[in-house]
Structure formats: C-alpha cells, structure tokens
Amino acid sequence: MTGAPPFHAVEIIRAKRDGGELPGPAIDWLIDAYTHRAVPDEQMAALLMAIVWRGLSGTELATWTAAMIASGERLDLAGLGRPTVDKHSTGGVGDTVSLILVPLLAAAGAAVPQLSGRGLGHTGGTLDKMESIPGWRAELSPAEMRAVLADVGGVICAAGAGLAPADRRLYALRDVTGTVESIPLIASSIMSKKIAEGTAALVLDVKAGSGAFMPSVEKANELARTMVGIGAAHGVATEALITDMDTPLGRSAGNALEVADAVDALRGGGPPDLVEVTLALARRMVVLAGLDAGPDPADILASGAAHDAWRRMVRAQGGDPDAPLPVARHTETVTAPATGYVRRLDARAVGLAAWRLGAGRGRQDDTVSAAAGVRWRAGLGDRVAAGQVVFELATDDPERIPSALAALDGALEMGPTPPAPRRLVLGQISS
C-alpha cells in the first residue's frame, strides 16, 4: 500500500461504535489493510469490540465475509470426478463425527475436503485427534490435498496459510480480546474458510447445550441461519442441523480415545448416539451432493466400505491404520455414589476434565497429549449400581488428576427413574 489511505481506521471504529453501517469499500479496505499489517491490532481490536456491541447488518456481513475470502487464495476442486461436499461442526465434547463422516461420504462417491482445526479449551480438535495416529500428518499442500481427494474421496487436513489469511489474524486477535462471542464474527470466520476451500455444498452441525459454543437452542439457531445465509449468497448449497451437546457424544473425550471410538463405528459398532448424529449429517450431505439415489449411509457403514476408505485416507497422509494408538501411563477411576439411573451427564464438565488431563489446550501454541482423556462407562439413561465405575481418567501426568476430578464433581446426576429419551437432532435449517 502506498500513498494516503482512502479510509482511516479511527473513523471506521467511530462509525461502528456509534451504530452506523459501514460502507462496502471501507470494509474491503480495512480487511486488506489489516491482512497486510497496515492497520495495527489495537485498532482492529477496538472495531471488533464495537461489532460485538453493535453487530453487522446483512449487507455488512456479506461484504466482510467476501473480503476475508478475497484476502487469500481459493482452492479449485474442479475435475475430481466426484461432487464436493463438506461438513463443519461448531465444536463439542466427544464430537468424533468428522472421523467417521469423511470416509463414509467418500465411500458414497463424494469428495470431502475437510479442512479442520485444533482444539481450544474444553472442545476437542479434529487435527489433534488424527495426529494421535502414528505417522499421520495434517499439513498438506493444495496439490497433495487434491491428490488424496482424487484417490480416496476424502481428506482431513489443516487449512493452508494462504486460505483466508485475514481470518487467521482475526481469530487469534478475537481470542485474546474478549470478542469471540459475536454471531457475525463467528459466522464469517467459519464460512470464509469453508467457501475458500472450494466445496460446492456444505452441511453445518451447530451444537447447542452446556458443552457447546452456543449454550441455548435459540442462539444456535441464530448462528445456523446466519451461516446458511452466507453460504447461499456465495453459491454454496448450505444446510444446518442443530444437535444436542448438553450431554457429550460417544463414550470418550480425548484424542486417541476418540479415534478408537470412530474406528469402532467404522467397523459397524461404536457408540449409538455418535453413529446417529453421523448418519443424520451424512443423509443431508448425500442429498446436497446429488448422491441420494445410492445406498443409504447406514448401509454403507455396515458394509465396511467406509472403514476401507478410512484406512486408505490414513495411509495417504502418512499414517499407519494398524499401529497401536497411544496409551496413557496413569489412570484413575470414579465410581457411582449410589444405585440409580444417570439422569444428567454434563458435557462441559467432561470436556473440562479431559482438557485438564492434557487432552486440550488453553492457548493456540500449547501442546496436547494424544493419550489423555476421559471415558464414561455409563451414559444418559443407563442404570448403575453403587460402586460401579462410571469414569476412567487417563493422563501421562498424575499431578493433573486432582483438578480433573474437581471438574467432574457434580457432572453426573443420578435418580430413581430414567430421564426422558434424548433428542439428538433439535432442528434443521435450509436456505
């Protein structure tokens, strides 16, 4: 950038602070200038806080998202010979869906370019889970990514530095300035990356509940509607399912532990709730990809074809699908205080315990333990006897166990009668 800038960051900040609508050219200039470090972090932080309080109109959000996409490259997935479709989850506890869903859709005939992230706080990250597989690598060039897609039909990898670089900077800044909880900023962050990856269709898994980013169904619906609208505006066929995250999915939270659950599901078993959510998303994905005339995803899963695709995908990224997964050096068990039914299992508490055991990170640059995590031996509605093991804690560092136990205090609520059946899919939003 040379010469006098056409806009001034302070004027843009003041306009949004006072409730004004930012003109499109000002947004375009701002995102470009911030990406190239011509606008400093402190000024962008001030604007982000103004957006938290004042929001963005539909027009502003469309321009903001488009500017983030335009800040970098856009992947070209044409010529793969398969329809492209992807899925994004807003994050949860025991949410191992992507590990099953990508090879399942590949086996159905789709190309799934799953650009994933790492965990932060109590929610797990898909890349952290996959990296517990010996030899597997997340960093692929665009050419390598296309090669895996063409060969296998599915890939799970990290987004390259050239993909929506404005979002990479904004995401890090929001994390340290208390400006994460803004639906327009969340929606533009997610959708800018998904649109830039080049997929033709997208199904969103928007979680609601104690372990979710959006605790209330109302807020989850608002976020889903916003993202579906952005996708439609950019020519990406987009749908969203609102799914429950009051209770964690599956039977484990932790990187290698969740990979084991995913492989069990790909072999035709696995935790029923995890499989149910996976199939609900898969059925919407095959519709958007135009593959719904083929076998039902449940039949593909039962046939073993998805497991075959998983093994090929892992190998294509340097991993050994037959290698033993890491096992923690220390374990601790928690037993039921009384006989009764599990009436509540708090997802956030379980995720927090797994994080404290070493499975998650508090900052983006923290390292994680592949073997750490929590298994629950009793799920919602199960009857347990006093003294029966209900939690197993795994860690490489025994000094982490007391704080993890503290997180689980009160996570399990028992009663003399079973709770109402759990609804896993709470709603659906289409464009």
CB contact at 8 A, 410 and 223: no
| Residues ≥6 apart with Cβ < 8 Å to 416 | 340, 341
For residues 421 and 71, what is the distance between their CA atoms, to the nearest angstrom?
46
Given the residues 167, 205, 246, 273, select the one marked as catalytic.
167
Given the residues 54, 88, 312, 375, select the one marked as catalytic.
88
For 382, the token pair is: 């199960």
pLDDT number for residue 161: 80
167 labelled catalytic: yes
Which one has a higher pLDDT value, 101 or 79? 101
Q: How would residue 3 be classed by pLDDT, with cut points 50, 70 and 90?
A: low
For residues 282 and 278, what is the distance between their CA atoms, to the nearest angstrom?
6
- Measured at the alpha carbon of residue 95, what is the angle toward residues 313 and 347, in degrees to the nearest 5? 165
Cα–Cα distances (Å) from 263 to 258, 301, 370, 428, in that order, read 9, 11, 16, 28
Give residue 275's identity as a one-letter amino acid code.
Answer: V
pLDDT number for residue 217: 95
pLDDT number for residue 283: 98
- Closest Cα to residue 396, out of 262, 264, 255, 263? 255
Task: Return left, alpha or beta for 98; rule: phi > 0 is left, psi -120 to 50 is alpha, else beta.
Answer: alpha
| CA 16 to chain CA centroid, nearest Å | 30
220-246 tens-digit pLDDT: 999 999 999 999 999 999 999 999 999
Average pLDDT over residues 93-109: 96
For residues 155 and 218, what is the distance between their CA atoms, to the nearest angstrom?
33
CA quadruple 414, 418, 424, 425: dihedral positive or negative? negative
pLDDT number for residue 118: 76
pLDDT number for residue 120: 63
Given the residues 118, 122, 168, 193, select the one marked as catalytic.
193
What's this model's pTM, rounded to 2 decimal places? 0.94
| CA 384 to chain CA centroid, nearest Å | 32
Tell me: pLDDT of 213 over 90. Answer: no
Given the residues 146, 174, 194, 348, select the one marked as catalytic.
174
Q: How would residue 4 be classed by pLDDT, with cut points 50, 70 and 90?
A: low
Average pLDDT over residues 317-329: 97
194 labelled catalytic: no
Given the residues 71, 182, 188, 189, select the one marked as catalytic.
189
Tell me: pLDDT of 295 over 70. Answer: yes
- Closest Cα to residue 274, out of 379, 398, 185, 406? 379
258-274 tens-digit pLDDT: 999 999 999 999 999 99
- Closest Cα to residue 60, out of 178, 237, 187, 169? 187
CA end-to-end span of the chain: 38
Cα–Cα distances (Å) from 180 to 34, 173, 188, 193, 313, in that order, read 18, 9, 12, 17, 33
For residues 215 and 178, what is the distance between their CA atoms, to the nearest angstrom?
17
160-207 tens-digit pLDDT: 888 899 998 998 898 788 888 899 999 999 999 999 999 999 999 999
Cα–Cα distances (Å) from 305 to 68, 189, 258, in that order, read 38, 34, 20
pLDDT number for residue 108: 98
Which residue segments constitute the domains of the chain, with CATH numbers given? 86-159+176-323 (3.40.1030.10), 330-415 (3.90.1170.30)
Burial of 248-257, coded b for 16+ CB within 10 Å and e otherwise, reads bbbbbbbbbb
244 labelled catalytic: no
189 labelled catalytic: yes
219 labelled catalytic: no
CB atoms within 10 A of CB 141: 10
Tell me: pLDDT of 121 over 80. Answer: no
From 10-24, 114-128, 145-159, 308-322, the region with the lowest mean pLDDT = 114-128
351-389 tens-digit pLDDT: 999 999 999 876 666 788 999 999 999 999 999 999 999
